[in-house]
Amino acid sequence: MAGFKSVTEYYNVCNPTAIPYIFELNDKNEVQKHFFLGNPDEIARKMQGFANQATKK
């Protein structure tokens, strides 16, 4: 996933999984770390399922 310099950059990204997305900020409110909250394998499965919707007829 692309790196974000600020939280506002995230709002330009679609999160179709409805999984909470966490930002860890420093004292200057700059993003230090960002990640989905949950099991990485389950998140990957949901994201792949969403990506596959575009290919289904």
What's the average model confidence in pLDDT over 1-20?
Answer: 63
pLDDT at residue 1 in the model = 40
Its sign, for the CA torsion 43, 47, 53, 56, is negative
What's the average model confidence in pLDDT over 1-14?
Answer: 58
pLDDT digits (tens, 9 = 90+) for 24-43: 888 988 888 888 899 989 98
**Greater pLDDT, 38 or 18:** 38
pLDDT at residue 41 in the model = 92
pLDDT at residue 25 in the model = 87
pTM of the predicted structure, to 2 decimals: 0.57
End-to-end CA distance of the chain: 27
Q: CA 40 → CA 9, 22, 45, 49, 50, distances in Å?
A: 22, 13, 9, 14, 15
